[in-house]
Structure formats: structure tokens, C-alpha cells
Structure 1
Amino acid sequence: MDIRKCAGALLVALTIAIGGCRNEDGDSPPNGDTEKDRTPNFITLVIDDMGFSDLGSYGGEIPTPNIDELAEDGVMLNNFYACATSTPTRGMLFTGKDHHTAGVGFMTSTTEKMEEVLQQEVLNQPNYESRLALDALPFPELLQQAGYHTMHTGKWDLGKETPEYYPSNRGFDVTRGTLLPGGGLHYSRPDGTLQAAQEGTFVNNGEVIEKFPKQFYSTEYYTDMAIEMLDERDTDKPFYLSLCYTAPHTPLHAPAEVTAKYLDVYAKGWDVIREERFERQKELGLWPEDAELPPLPDDVRSWDELSEEEQMISAKKMAIYAAMVDVLDENIGRLVSHLKDIGEYENTVIILFSDNGAGELYYGLGPDDEDNSYENLGNWNSRVTHGPEWSYAKNTPLHGNKGSLYDGGWHTPAIFHYPKAAVSGEISDRIVSVMDIAPTILEMAEIEYPDTYDGSPITPMAGISMADMFEGDLEYDPERSLTLELHIAHAVRLGDWKLVQPLPVTQLSDGDCDLPLHLYNLATDPFELEDIADEEPDIVEELKLLYDQYAEDNGVIQLPPCP
């Protein structure tokens, strides 16, 4: 599927209706019978740990026709940046600000070595609460106050300690099937009872769920909850639905009959899959025709180094992952079909993205009658991940994986879709941040961001509205800058320049404070292969100044052992 070739046929000359009329009290009116009276609905679809190249529209071999159709009829982003891990991304999504300002400057579920260095120094310090700070304004509250009906299902990951941190108290009218922590099993037991790792983690409107009516599978369940909430909503109001899937995050769980479709596909190994994905990406126009696939890191094995038995097991693990993406696409198609059935599709903005790059981290959510035999892989009581090699294939051709501030960690697929937009079927190279989603939604809903929250002054959102993309402004801005810090590592992108200080686990463990800075020109080196920091000292200094200002503005703590 060539998005660019489809663009001419799919281009629709429609005038965008961003926002609606206001009543005499200044509130948004309910959805009316005429187009001019209708304010847009909004849905954000957050996918968990999906790689840059997994979707068919981004070069993947996994059939994702429903998501691809959103890309064909919408705008597909080739320069979208989330954060390198899930909790900070969600803080940025819901506040439109940097994750430190949102209270999630630090992930508690990080490696043991990093915890030794970081946790005692920063945990529960301002900007490092590891949950959505109570003084951080979530944009759903503003939608709620303006007359929107707001709903959430799926992963929350922004506070589970007490109900005041639950989404039901952070701007959502209805929350159903909410997973409070950052990870979970995709299956319940066959009788619907919760496995040990799931107990106390799911809530409906703040009330703990103790048993499901039948065997739970996360992707289907969250979609069911979304459809139920849509059917039960106040239809006199426009709506916002936050649907945060946990697939395809590990552990690898999927229906056996879907997994079976992919066993032969991945028997060829990650080297071939990577090559095939890259060629399709070039055909789609994501990379220049003369671009060359970057080599894998030296510490990553080639497929031929595995024994036949190892290859068989590894191929099945990736087949399970593909099945998770397959089921995810099917359920997003089910949601879109339901929007059409209830007459809300044409008036709904859908924003879909992955919360970070692909990774293979798995923190062990068991055991519970654990059975990791080959025959049982993917079933409710298996607990496996797939290893770093497949993560590199899933992120083709980007450098790095989840947790890294190279592009493979936070440069993710994203699609903006609105049937009333003036453009469709386009690929945009415009630099876009997950922080831009909140101001985009608020502008389209004609809601102003306030100067105060709970009686105290607040700073403006750091994100920039992208509502004009729906009017056809897809141009690359060489002056746009994005800066990020996570666990001491940091990165700055200014146009084509990218400065990276990588995750310094080794240096920290050795007490070495001489942390490297790497500079890349993404115009000529999009896969971050050639460090030119020594050749461009002025650019390095310019980007370091941007980082220093960012750190000051967002309360970044300079962590030990480096002064």
C-alpha cells in the first residue's frame, strides 16, 4: 500500500469544522442536528510498546487493514516523538507538558542498577512522584468542564496508591476496565478469576474488579468497555474517549489460532524480516529510495547463530507478538465500525500512536501455574518475551529500543484521522510531540488553557497545537525543537540536528562521570550511525544550551554520581 499514491484519489475538498458555537454562558453546546452546531468528538488510541515498523502502513508484514485505512484516510506522521517509556508518555499526553512537570520524571519500574543510583535520590521529590501530580492539570478536566462526556478504559499507569490518583478523579466521567499499574497479564484464568499478578489492579469508576464474566483477553475487553461506554454516554454531549491498550506489551499472550497464521512467516528470522520491512518502507516513501539498511549492533546475534530448536521457539514468540497486533487491529476496526453505526464516525477525531519504541523488557508477572513449554507459549499461563533481536526488527530501521533516547526509543508510529479534514492519505515529515495532542484537541474544541489551576498559577502547555495539519499544513519545520531527559540520559532535536547523551548504566556503575555526547545530522544520517560531535562543536554547544534551559524550566534534578 502506497500512501502517497493513494493521496490523490483520497483527497477530499472539505472545510474543517474545528470547534463549535458557544451558548450564552460560554459553554460548548451539545451536538446538534446541523454540522455547524457540532463540536468534534475525540478518541486517543494508545498502543503499548509497538515498534515503528509493525503496522502495514509503516512497512510491516502483519496485516493491519483497519489501522492502515485510518492512515490512508488521514495523516501518517514520520517524525512523531513520544517518550522512551510508558509512564512519562502518558503524563505528557494528558497534560500537554513535559513529563517532569506532570510529576513522572522517573520510572519506578526500571533496572536494578538504575534504581540503586536514582530511586533514593529522586523518588517523591517534586516532578519525580512517578504518578500524575495533583497540581498538574489534565486536559480531560477542561473538556469535562466545557460540556464533554469523558471516558477512559485500559492502561492508566499514572497513580494507583489512592483513589485521588485514579482517572475517575482526574477528568473522566466514566472509567471502566481501567488497569491502574503500568503492566499486566493479557489473560485472566479460563474461569474469569484474576491471576495473582492481576488482583486489585483493575477498577470500574474506582471500584476494584474481582472477577470477569468470562476469560478476559485485554484487547477485546478494553474494546468492549469502550463500546459499552459509547452506547451508555450522554448523547447530548460531544465525547472524549481515552482507550489505552496494553497490547502488544509483554508478556506475549494471544489466541493460538491467530498465532498459527504467523509461524511460517517468522521462521525466516529477524535478519530477513528487517530487510523486507525496510524495502517496503522505501516503497511507501518513508525513506529515500537510495537509503541503506543500517547494520545491527555488534552485540546482536544473526539468525543463523541460533540452533534449529532455538529458531523454532524464537519464531513462535514473534508469531505470538504478530497475533497480538493482528487482534489489536481487528478490535480497532470493531471500534471504528461502531462509530459508523452510531453516526459519530464523521465527526470524530482519532489520534493513534505507540507510547514508545519496541522493547523486550519483562518484569515477571508470575508465576501462576506457569507453563512455558513450546506448545503452551502464548496461553494464559505462559510468561515469555522475545529477546532484543526482534525488537530491532520491529523498530526497523531506527537505532535503539525502548528506554533509549536514540530514535528507536521514542520515535514512534502515529496517525491523525478526521473525516472532515481537508487532506487525507498524506505522509507528513512535520516534527510532532505527544505533548502536542492536548493543545490540538483543546483548540479544535475551542477551549482556552487557563492561567490557574485549583487557585494556583500554572505554566502554559509545552506542546503546540497541530490542528492546522487537518487543514493541510504538513510542512517540516526546521526550527522545531524537542528535548527530553529520562534517567540521566537526555536528547535534543532541533530540526535535522540530534544530540544524544545515552543511558549511562555502565558509567554510573563504575562511578564514571565522563558521559558521552553524540551528535547526528538526521538529514544525511537518519539512522544515527555517524557521530559528528567533534566536527560540529558549535552545534553541540547550541543544543547543550537548549538542554540546560529545558532542565531549568522543568525542574530536572542533576543526579549523582555526577555533580
Structure 2
Amino acid sequence: MNDRKSFPKNTDVARSVLPVPDIPPVGPTTYDARDPAAKFPPITPLRPPSGAPNVLVVLLDDVGFGASSAFGGPCHTPTAERLAAGGLKYTRFHTTALCSPTRAALIGGRNHHTVGMGAITEFATSAPGYSSMRPNTCAPLPEVLKLNGYATAHIGKCHEVPVWETSPVGPFDRWPTPGNGFEYFYGFFGGETDQWYPTLREGITPMEPWGTPEQGYHLTPDLTQRAITWIGQQRALAPDKPFFMYFATGATHAPHHCPKEWADKYRGKFDEGWDVQRERTFARQKELGVIPSDAELTPRSEGIPAWDEMDEALKPFLRRQMENYAGFLEHTDHHVGLLIDELERLELLDDTLIYLIIGDNGASAEGSLQGTFNELISISGMGELETPEYFNARLDKLGGPESTPHYAVGWAHAMCTPYQWTKQVASHWGGTRNGTIVHWPAGISARGELRHQFCHVIDVAQTVLDAAGLPAPTFVNGVMQKPFEGTSMTYSFDDGDAPERHDTQYFEMMCNRGIYHQGWSAVTKHRTPWETTGDAGIALDDDKWELYDGNNDWTQAHDLSKELPAKLRELQRLFLIEACKYNVLPLDDRGFERVLPDVAGRPTLVGDRQILLPGMGGMVEQHVVNWRNRSWSLTALIEVPTGGANGVILNLGGHGGGWSLYLKESVPTFCYNLFGLHWTHVRGERPTPEGEHQVRVEFAYDGGGLGRGGTITLYLDGEQVGTGRLDRTESIGFGYEYTEVGRDAQSPVTDDYVDGDSKFTGTIRWIEMEGGQDSHEHMIDPASIFRAAMAKQ
């Protein structure tokens, strides 16, 4: 194989202005190309400086510090252990406590509020720190690398695009490609997707999975194979060109979809519950040295029940939740390992700087106190439907294609051992401390060592630039740039005792906030992840602050706020200074208001009336008229061929809940699937004749609150042909599957048609969807809307 180091490098290129300006050679002007003076220097493709490594950043999703075996957890992660043995384990690496902000900070190289991502994209407001719109003064790392001659690819999850820009019409200037500097993208948008039926895109084009779950499809192997293929192509066609790959799995975010054989490997291993597991993990962490021998295990966080307090009838399901999650994480680690194996096979491993960041935040406590088989039920506030009998009847299906599961809060807390709290809680290390491994044999002489310097996700970009010998640019695309805000970690690569250089860092998420400074931390928790609002009635200024001495208290176990009030005030003041510097203010603890675009000050894509045309697809719920908790109608002009027609006119959702308007043997039919628990079919009295006709469904909402029932009426050419009742409806959303005109593209809403056999066999001219004027939004519990938005991030 070609050695890319043998190719010439542009070592004398001025790189502070990007793109590098094209400066034509200066020389004599000749008339005849055969003139000996008519010589020009050869064209040399732009490349980084000699010795610049390949870069692979692997970011797992929703994995707590105490989950991976590499950091003392119960989930077997041999790939992480292998990379750690050949590299470094960072025990004090931090994220932002939430998905979109961590990802924006990672690729942006700046604090999450600096790049406008103070919360998830669905909560964007018009305030600069919360707009979800990265300023053009903050060119992201992949853009900088691309303009310096790197090949760039993003494989996997993307939750950094403003929600109003995610439809098939864009705009695309904040998509991974072309807007974020990636030349290739294959993955999905949003906080989560179904691992068996994902909503995929390649570049800006919607894609379908290569097969069904029955045929062996699962998202993580698919992403891995795409990554392997892309790297192989780069090696084959441009061996002198280093690459930057951002590999962001959808795992282990909910839904916890795991092939059964991987979950079965853990059968019986969690029978004693989450309190015992915390103790076991804590002891193992001390053995590994990822926490000091004198560290203390923090008490169970307030509001989390003890294992012994849980209903015995629930415990078989609770145990299986954790078996399923552990299998999910090991399955993910295995496929990351296949990618590492391919780097080794291609002789690229030694010269590739690898970051394995085990979680974009702490473990997720968004699955309720008992967990869920179908998270849509819990999100919609209908948790009473999931009884112990319901759970235990579905034990063998947990993690499979018929489920959309999430584990209980107690397991999430255990996966954040030894720290307090979980994901969303930016004040405490349980929400922000994620085990991280750095592997680069050609650039790091140390092997299998620990590093305890304080680090933050914004440090990755500056580290990569340092390793590549590249400056942070002053101008990109003609715009003066804000400096990168992270600290290069290269100083610690070969010196475990080097004094830490990132010694001040603020944290803020949903008004959970804190400040780290030279070992000390001052923190305050304003809201609890599994609750839907901030602490009821507590003003921001009344939040209780805590003070911890990290030089002597590794786990934030001893609050010193009463003993050292002057030190606390000093750090509180420093938090406000940092908050002013990085666009954190104004603090915003609103919930429901931030979900409403008009109140939050962000654009919307659609109003109360919409026309859909043949060929339209790749749409998710926010791309169509809001139909929840109100009356609505859908009218389609179709043409039925000789012999009749079958298939879907329009659907929304899938096997876990949704609705579909379709013809079955030419008969207009509407199916409403309530969370896979109950299917209501309303069928027309007669088939649709050959020729052009209007098929219409109307839903008349009962009103009076959230998720109420209503009457369904079917019409054919304006004449009523069928009617039926729904006793209750889904109130928040049916998830993340694509809506396509003329077919149910992913998991089927109803078994009236099967997966892959739903395409409409007639012709659709147009579809009109309209929301009624009887909106009952004023009666909707605002906390329910907030809960749903947070649970899907």
C-alpha cells in the first residue's frame, strides 16, 4: 500500500486565511508553450503539513461514567479497553450534560452558548446563546480541516441543525454537508431514531435501510459499514490525504434496541438491583484507578427509589431493562471495534488520532421511575397503561423491533456511579463527566496510562489542530473568526503529572449550572430530569448552591457551602463573569413556552394548511400540519386504475403508534394505532371506482384536554362512506419515522399491509391536510409538551 507520508506536503502555505487564497505564479509572459521560458510549477493539491494524522472522533450517546467496563462499569467494552491499553484514559473529561450542546461544542471548538446551542434544537429561542444557529464567526473544526486539505465525513447522529431547517427543502448551510464542513454525511437528524427502522439521509437525500429487522438490519452495523467503506475509498483513491471522521452512533440513546443474543449475555447479572450495582461499580473503579482510593460514593440522588422499594411484580421487567441496555452498549462497542480493526488492516491505526468519548452526557434518566416498553406511552403521559402485567407479558420482546424501550431512572443513576445525578444536570459530575480515551501510537509514547487533568469537550478541536500542525484561522470565507475556546490536551499526552491548563469552565443546562475553577466547583441544580418543570416556585436567585473542594473530594460528596461562604460567593461571581462572556444570559427556565415557536421567537415550517404532492417524502412530524389535540382533515385526489387499487395515501408514525389513510381492495380505510396496544380501523362501505376521485378523512376532536377521543368520518367524493370512534388519542407525537406520500416507508402502522408492500398502486394527484380551528391547546398541560420535547433529545 502507498504510504501517505511519502507524498509532498504544502508546508509553506499560509493558513490563517481560509480558503487559502489562490495566488498565480509570477513569471515571464510567453507566446508559445514550446518556449523554454514557458514553464510553470506543477499543480500541487492542498494538503495539511507533513505528519498531520488522520483523526477519528467516536462519540457514543447517553452513556454514563459508570457504564463501560473500561471505567469500572458492568457493560463489557473490549474495544474501549483495547484502545485504553494502547493509549490514555482521561478520567476528568467533561461534556455539557445534553445532546445538541455537546455535539455543537465538540465540532465547533467553542462553548455551546457561543455557537448558539444552549439547549436542544427543539428548544431554540431568539436569544443568541440559544438560537441553535452557529454564527459564521465560528467556523467548525471539520470546515477548518477541509479547507486545509483533509477529507471529512460525518457518520451517524446529527442533532445540530435548527428544526425549521431539517426538511427536504433545507436550507442546507447548517447541515453536516455542505454547511458544517463535512464532504460526506450518512446518518439521521434529531435526538433519537428507531435503531431497527431509522430515518436515514445520505448527504441531503433521504435513504432507506438496506433491509428489515427480520433480514438482519440494525442501525449500528449499518453506520459502521458505511464508515469502513468511506475510509477504504479514501485510502484507495487519495492515500496522501488524511481524513477526519466524526462517528456518532445513535446508541445507546433510547429506544434501547438490542439484538436479543447480546442482551441474553447479561441474563441474571443485574438481579440484585441498581443499589448493589452502584457498590460493585464503585469498588471496580477504585481497582482501575479511575477514581482515587479515598473517593466516596455519593448517596442516591433525591427522588430515586431504592431497589428494595420497587414493586416485586415489576422487578423481572426492571432486570431485563438493564440486561438489554448492557447488551446494547456491548453491541455498540463491538462495532466500533470493527472500525478500529479496519484501520489496523489498512495500516492506518498508528497514524490516526482517535478520540473515543463514551457518552455525550451522563446516562439518561428520561425513562420514568419504572422504565418503559414503549417510550411514546410514557412521553405522552399515559404511563398507567404500562402495568406490571403489560411489562412481563413482553419481556422477550424488550429491545426488539416491536418495542421502543427505555430503562428506569435507578439504572441511569447507577450508570453514573460514583457521581450524583444524570444527563441534563450540568451542575454535577453525573451529568457531565464522561470517560474518554485517546489513542495515537505515532504521536503519544505513553501506553495504558491514566490522565487526571480537567478537560472539556471544547478541547478536542484545539487538540486536533495542534496535532495536525495547523493554526486556528483568523478568517474563514471572508469572515473574521472568534478564537477557539478550548485548551489543547497535547500537553498531557506524555506527561501525566503536567499541571492542568483548562482550569476554569462554566456549565449550564436548563438552568442547572455550575463553575469549575482550579479544583473547586460551585453548583446548583434547578430542575430534575424526570420532572417536567423547574423546582416549583423557586426563582433562579433562590436556587440552593453547593460548594465542593475537588482537590480533596473527587465525587462532590461533601458540600462546603456553609463552612466556606466567601469561597462560594467568589465562585458564584466567577460563574456570572463566564456567563456574560459566553452568551449564557439570559438564563431561561421556561419549558412549555420554549416549545412554542411563536413565543420562543423561532421560525416554523408549516401552518394550519398544507399541500403534499406525489414524490414528497423524508418528512417527519414537524414537517406536516399539527394534528394532535385538535380536529383535522385530509383530502386526497387520486386516480384508481382498472381493476382497483391498494396501498397507502399518507401515513404518520409506525408500529409503535401512528395513523394511516389507505385503500384496501379499493375500499377507503383509516387506521389509528394507539401505541401498538389497540388498532382502530374505520372502513368505507364500498370500493372506490375506477377513475379520478376524492378520498377524505375528517377527525372531529372531542376537546376538553390532552389526548382526548373523537369521531372519524370517511368520505368518497363528498359522500360519507364510513365512521368510527377513538376513545383516546396520542397527545404529543408518534416518534421519528418518515412520512411519505403514497407509501408507509418504514415499520407498518397496521398489519392490513406489511412492511415493503404498502406502495399505492393508483395515482395520487395531491393531498391537502388542514388543522381545524377548534384547537384545544389552551387546555393542554404545558408540562406534558415539555416532557415530550426533553425525552426525545
How does the TM-score come out when normalised to structure 1?
A: 0.86
Q: Shift of residue 141 of structure 1?
A: 0.8
Q: Shift of residue 221 of structure 1?
A: 1.3
Q: Shift of residue 250 of structure 1?
A: 1.0
Check if 1:78 corresponds to 2:118. no
Q: Match for 1:318: what amino acid? A: M
Whole-angstrom CA distance in 1 between matches of 2:496 and 2:563: 34
- Report what 1:5 is aligned to: none
- Helix, strand or coil at the partner of 2:10: coil
Whole-angstrom CA distance in 1 between matches of 2:296 and 2:469: 45
- Report what 1:227 is aligned to: 228
Q: Shift of residue 507 of structure 1?
A: 5.7
- Helix, strand or coil at the partner of 1:328: helix
State the identity as a percent: 28
- Report what 1:425 is aligned to: 448
- Higher mean Cα deviation, 443-452 or 211-220? 211-220
Q: Match for 1:451: what amino acid? A: T
- Helix, strand or coil at the partner of 2:314: helix
The answer to whether the 8 A contact 1:422-1:472 is kept is: no
Which of 436, 442, 451 aligns to 1:414? It is: 436
- Report what 2:113 is aligned to: 100
- Report what 1:456 is aligned to: 479
The answer to whether the 8 A contact 1:31-1:236 is kept is: no
The answer to whether the 8 A contact 1:429-1:476 is kept is: no
Going from structure 1 to structure 2, the CA distance change for 1:172 and 1:459 (only over 3 Å counts) comes to closer
- Report what 2:58 is aligned to: 45
Whole-angstrom CA distance in 1 between matches of 2:58 and 2:589: 39
Going from structure 1 to structure 2, the CA distance change for 1:108 and 1:149 (only over 3 Å counts) comes to closer
After superposition, residues 42-441 of structure 1 pair within 5 angstroms as 42-109=55-122, 123-159=125-161, 161=165, 162=170, 163-188=172-197, 198=198, 201-215=199-213, 216-233=217-234, 234-353=238-357, 354-361=359-366, 373-404=394-425, 405-420=427-442, 421-441=444-464
- Report what 1:115 is aligned to: none
- Helix, strand or coil at the partner of 1:101: coil
Whole-angstrom CA distance in 2 between matches of 1:131 and 1:101: 10
Provide the aligned C-alpha RMSD in A. Answer: 2.7
Q: Shift of residue 357 of structure 1?
A: 0.6
- Report what 1:191 is aligned to: none
Q: Shift of residue 71 of structure 1?
A: 0.8
Whole-angstrom CA distance in 2 between matches of 1:260 and 1:314: 14
Whole-angstrom CA distance in 2 between matches of 1:361 and 1:508: 17
- Report what 1:528 is aligned to: 556
The answer to whether the 8 A contact 1:106-1:123 is kept is: no
Q: Match for 1:222: what amino acid? A: L
Structure whose CA Rg is larger = 2
Going from structure 1 to structure 2, the CA distance change for 1:253 and 1:318 (only over 3 Å counts) comes to same
Whole-angstrom CA distance in 1 between matches of 2:207 and 2:581: 40
Whole-angstrom CA distance in 2 between matches of 1:298 and 1:124: 34
- Helix, strand or coil at the partner of 1:492: strand
- Helix, strand or coil at the partner of 1:383: coil
- Higher mean Cα deviation, 237-246 or 203-212? 203-212
Which of 498, 507, 510 aligns to 1:484? It is: 507
- Helix, strand or coil at the partner of 1:164: coil
- Higher mean Cα deviation, 521-530 or 144-153? 521-530
- Helix, strand or coil at the partner of 1:66: helix
Q: Match for 1:128: what amino acid? A: Y
Check if 1:546 corresponds to 2:544. no
The answer to whether the 8 A contact 1:48-1:245 is kept is: yes
After superposition, residues 508-523 of structure 1 pair within 5 angstroms as 509-510=536-537, 512-513=539-540, 514-523=542-551
Whole-angstrom CA distance in 2 between matches of 1:170 and 1:130: 14
Q: Shift of residue 259 of structure 1?
A: 0.8
Q: Match for 2:539: what amino acid? A: D
Q: Deviations over 1:383-427 (max 9, x none)?
A: 221111001111111111001121100011101111121211111
- Helix, strand or coil at the partner of 1:336: helix
Going from structure 1 to structure 2, the CA distance change for 1:447 and 1:291 (only over 3 Å counts) comes to closer
Going from structure 1 to structure 2, the CA distance change for 1:426 and 1:455 (only over 3 Å counts) comes to same
Q: Where does the alignment leave 5 or more consecutive residues of structure 1 unmatched?
A: 1-16, 110-118, 189-197
The answer to whether the 8 A contact 1:418-1:470 is kept is: no
- Report what 2:750 is aligned to: none
- Helix, strand or coil at the partner of 2:265: helix
Q: Deviations over 1:360-400 (max 9, x none)?
A: 32597758xx9962221110120221111001111111111
- Helix, strand or coil at the partner of 1:471: coil
Q: Deviations over 1:469-498 (max 9, x none)?
A: 333355343871111222222110112211
- Helix, strand or coil at the partner of 1:177: strand
How does the TM-score come out when normalised to structure 2?
A: 0.62
The answer to whether the 8 A contact 2:100-2:121 is kept is: no
Q: Deviations over 1:296-334 (max 9, x none)?
A: 135322222234431111111101100111111111111
The answer to whether the 8 A contact 1:497-1:522 is kept is: yes
Q: Match for 1:22: what amino acid? A: N
Q: Match for 1:236: what amino acid? A: D
Whole-angstrom CA distance in 1 between matches of 2:351 and 2:410: 42
What count of residue pairs does the alignment treat as equivalent? 517
The answer to whether the 8 A contact 1:176-1:225 is kept is: no
Q: Shift of residue 252 of structure 1?
A: 1.4
Q: Deviations over 1:411-450 (max 9, x none)?
A: 1110111112121111111001100000000111111112
Going from structure 1 to structure 2, the CA distance change for 1:360 and 1:243 (only over 3 Å counts) comes to same
The answer to whether the 8 A contact 2:115-2:132 is kept is: no
Q: Match for 2:225: what amino acid? A: D
- Higher mean Cα deviation, 308-317 or 473-482? 473-482
Going from structure 1 to structure 2, the CA distance change for 1:230 and 1:377 (only over 3 Å counts) comes to same
Higher strand share: 2
Whole-angstrom CA distance in 2 between matches of 1:332 and 1:482: 30
Q: Match for 1:272: what amino acid? A: V
Q: Match for 1:411: what amino acid? A: R
Q: Deviations over 1:10-30 (max 9, x none)?
A: xxxxxxx9xx95344457988
Whole-angstrom CA distance in 1 between matches of 2:131 and 2:125: 6
The answer to whether the 8 A contact 1:481-1:495 is kept is: yes
